Structure 1
Amino acid sequence: MGTHRRPKPPSRARLTTLGVAAGAFGLIPSQSQAEPKPTVDEVRKQVEQLYEEAEAPTEEYLGIRERQQKLEKAAGEARDRIARQQDEINELRDQIGPFAAAQYRSGGIDASLQLVLSADPDDYLEQASLLNRVGDRQATAMRALQGKQRRLTQDREEATAQLREVEEARTKAAAKKSQVTKKLAEARKLLASLTAEERTRLAAAEEREDAASGASDGAASYNGPASGRAKAALDFAYAQLGKPYEWGSTGPNSFDCSGLTGASWRAAGVSLPRTVQQQYDVGRKVAKSDLQPGDIIYWYNSTQHNGMYVGNGKAIHAPRTGKNIEIVPLDSMPFFAASRP
């Protein structure tokens, strides 16, 4: 039969220990305690930083996608070429078939013995001449077949390598796109955390900042000194004022930075490559002191952001997600270089 013992009361020392532990526990932040909410100004700075961080992978993504498209086109042309070569090889094989049959029918008998056995030497000589011609034609056809077969094998290897590169490019592009979308999603999340009043204050702060810097996205027409193709490019760019920035877009309803410069010069009859870096590489470099309207401006570095000089110390560009195509002071961002298409 069991006994029921009353629990022994804790000692004074243990009570002291428990009290200290409880006090220490009280100093540990509760998991339910929320992080301090960022101010409107902090949100604005964080969003700007995220958009800036998204620009470099955006340009890398565009360059990879362009290369991927070229590789896909080359691989498609290789497939068509392989199909044509296979048809030619099949046709040659059909031609060689009767030649081989003729040789088989001759039995491979020594020519002198065939002459001895022949009842009609003239007929033999005629047949021998025919077989020689057949042999020559067969040899020519065989050489052609071997050459085509070698080219076919080489083209298949090249096509396989191109398709492998396409897949690698697709994987790289997907990774870069993921980087961009992650940054943009973080920016959207920050903006969504603001109340309606805070969003109003943020918009007002951005307007004040634009006004202080001289930025404007209002409708306007170019009336500067440019002429010829430069004027045509600027006329097009000015017609896009107020349209939204959209990464990866080349128009007509939205643009990213290099999409706008490329579309503007394309309207003037000049073809530019797709990305900021590529446009920098192909353009003739000009000093800041020699800038002319229509020149392409590169800010920060040769890969991140560009626009077009419009004159009077100003440039037009597609800024970033959430903003529209605008005119800004040339030095509103760190000037890196300029090129003339």
Structure 2
Amino acid sequence: MAAHRKPKYFPFGGQAARTAATLALASAATATVFQGTGHAAPRPAPAQVRAQVDRLYEEAEAATEKYNGAKEQVDRARAAFDRLRDEAARRTERLNRSRDALGAIATAQYRSGTLDPTLQLAFTSDPDDYLERASLAEKIGDRQAATITEVRREIGAVQRLRAQSEDQLRELRTHETELRRQKTTVRSKLSAARELLGQLDTKDRARYEADVAAGDDSATDAGSTHGSGTGAGRGDQDPAPGGPVPDATGRAAEAISFARAQIGKPYVWGATGPSSYDCSGLTQAAWRAAGVTLPRTTYTQINAGHRVSRAELAPGDLVFFYSGVSHVGLYIGGGRMIHAPRPGAPVRIAPIDQMPFAGATRIS
């Protein structure tokens, strides 16, 4: 005998069923939203934000130095390309003049017609006149041959210059691509740092920005900027690591004097003055004021002089930081330097133990 089951009861059917399902899903979603709101992730601790922001600024500065290096290569490649292009244009103009000269000679010969020299001598009534004309024709022929040789030489030179220009243009495009990549990296790091700072409440962010603007060494900055301007202020006479600090002299004194005059100017990545600087832009400008040309980036400036140990530091030395040699300052004695720290932090005096020391070089 067949089993009898009680039929299931469906209170809604058709459109009514679909409407009920939609309302149920909406209620569940609403409940989830309110539940999520009630358990929102807590704000990160200010110390965590500061550490992450500091790391992002360090990475941005490393990318800035790579950007500076790429820009230097772009400038060199563009200058070389422009020189080749100008030289090719001059050579082409010379080539065209030589071609025009050949065309004029050919036209003149066509219009005058030519007879075999033996027949010309037979028909002439004045052999002396013929010989004079023949001598002149020979000179014209020599000149024509020289012009042809010049044309051939110029064609070869123009072809070589155009090939070199194409190679130089490809190199320029490669450096421009790297420049854009590093520019994007810098901007993304700085943008991420700003977003992190936005997670701080108003009070914590104001405190952080005030600390960055003032620097940990703010108490000593004011008193140290009123010395002789050459690294000989009283604060600069503190013992340096390894012994007494000699006064800065000569070009080192001039470089320090220039750097002191920049204190308070803003940090701007990629800037070389006179109104703003990045770290290597400041040291380059300071030594340029002393008559010395330095390379543009930290990782090339460290090889611009001869290396010295931390114990041997003297005023005017360049001091470098971080494992990637991504930051540089100008040593002024007493364990301190003048440097352009980072966005939001103006050019200032700071202790060299504020960052991981990577090396130093002395500009001779």
Same fold by TM-score greater than 0.5: yes
Match of 2:196 among 178, 181, 190: 190
1:298-317 matched pairs, under 5 angstroms:
298-301=320-323, 303-317=325-339
Unaligned runs of 5+ in 2: 1-6, 12-27, 233-246
1:74 Cα deviation from its structure 2 partner: 2.1
Q: Which residue in 2 is equivalent to 1:7?
A: 9
Q: Which residue in 1 is equivalent to 2:156?
A: 150
**How far, CA to CA, are the matches of 1:283 and 1:147 in structure 2?**
45
**How far, CA to CA, are the matches of 1:265 and 1:91 in structure 2?**
49
1:206 Cα deviation from its structure 2 partner: 5.6
1:330 Cα deviation from its structure 2 partner: 2.0
Cα 1:266–1:106, aligned 2, differ >3 Å: closer, same or farther?
same
* SS of equivalent to 2:85: helix
Cα 1:242–1:119, aligned 2, differ >3 Å: closer, same or farther?
same
Greater CA drift, 241-250 or 119-128? 119-128
Match of 2:341 among 315, 319, 334: 319
Q: Which residue in 1 is equivalent to 2:135?
A: 129
**How far, CA to CA, are the matches of 1:188 and 1:251 in structure 2?**
25
* SS of equivalent to 1:337: strand
Q: Which residue in 2 is equivalent to 1:335?
A: 357
Q: Which residue in 2 is equivalent to 1:12?
A: none
**How far, CA to CA, are the matches of 2:213 and 2:99 in structure 1?**
76
In structure 1, give the amino acid aligned to 2:9: P
Task: Report Cα offsets for 1:36-95 as digits up to 9, x if no partner.
Answer: 321111111110000011112111111111111122222222222222222222221222
Q: TM-score, normalised by structure 2?
A: 0.78
1:325 Cα deviation from its structure 2 partner: 1.8
Greater CA drift, 274-283 or 120-129? 120-129
**How far, CA to CA, are the matches of 1:92 and 1:140 in structure 2?**
10
In structure 2, give the amino acid aligned to 1:261: T
Q: Which residue in 1 is equivalent to 2:42?
A: 36
Native 8 Å contact 2:273 2:282 kept in 1: yes
Match status 1:169 vs 2:171: no
Native 8 Å contact 1:99 1:135 kept in 2: no
Greater CA drift, 327-336 or 177-186? 327-336
Greater CA drift, 236-245 or 99-108? 99-108
1:186 Cα deviation from its structure 2 partner: 0.6
Q: Which residue in 2 is equivalent to 1:242?
A: 264
Native 8 Å contact 1:93 1:145 kept in 2: yes
Task: Report Cα offsets for 1:262-283 as digits up to 9, x if no partner.
Answer: 1111121222121112212222
**How far, CA to CA, are the matches of 1:49 and 1:173 in structure 2?**
22
Native 8 Å contact 1:258 1:274 kept in 2: yes
Cα 1:32–1:60, aligned 2, differ >3 Å: closer, same or farther?
farther
**How far, CA to CA, are the matches of 1:74 and 1:81 in structure 2?**
11
1:243 Cα deviation from its structure 2 partner: 2.1
* SS of equivalent to 1:281: coil
Say what the alpha-carbon RMSD is for the aligned residues.
Answer: 2.9
Task: Report Cα offsets for 1:218-239 as digits up to 9, x if no partner.
Answer: 4713442112211111111112
1:1-341 matched pairs, under 5 angstroms:
7=9, 34-104=40-110, 109-203=115-209, 210-211=216-217, 216-218=220-222, 220-221=225-226, 222=229, 223-224=231-232, 225-301=247-323, 303-341=325-363
Q: TM-score, normalised by structure 1?
A: 0.83
Cα 1:294–1:167, aligned 2, differ >3 Å: closer, same or farther?
same
Greater CA drift, 126-135 or 251-260? 126-135
